[in-house]
Amino acid sequence: MDAVSAEPVVTLMPELWMTLLKSFGMLCVVLGVLITVLWLLRRLHDRGLSGQPGLIQVVASSYVGPKERISLVDVLGEKFLIGVTSQEINLLAKISDKDNVCAERSAAPEGLFKSLLRRQFDANAGAGEKGKKGSSAG
Indicate whether this model's pTM tops 0.85.
no
C-alpha distance from residue 113 to each of 11, 104, 117 (Å): 69, 9, 6
Q: Is 83 exposed, middle or buried (0-12, 13-18, 19+ CB in 10 A)?
A: middle
Using one digit for the tens of pLDDT, what is the confidence trace for 21-73?
Answer: 999 999 999 999 999 999 988 877 766 555 556 678 888 888 888 889 998 88
Q: Which amino acid is at 53?
A: P
Cβ count near 17 (within 10 Å): 10
Domain boundaries, the chain: 1-53, 56-137
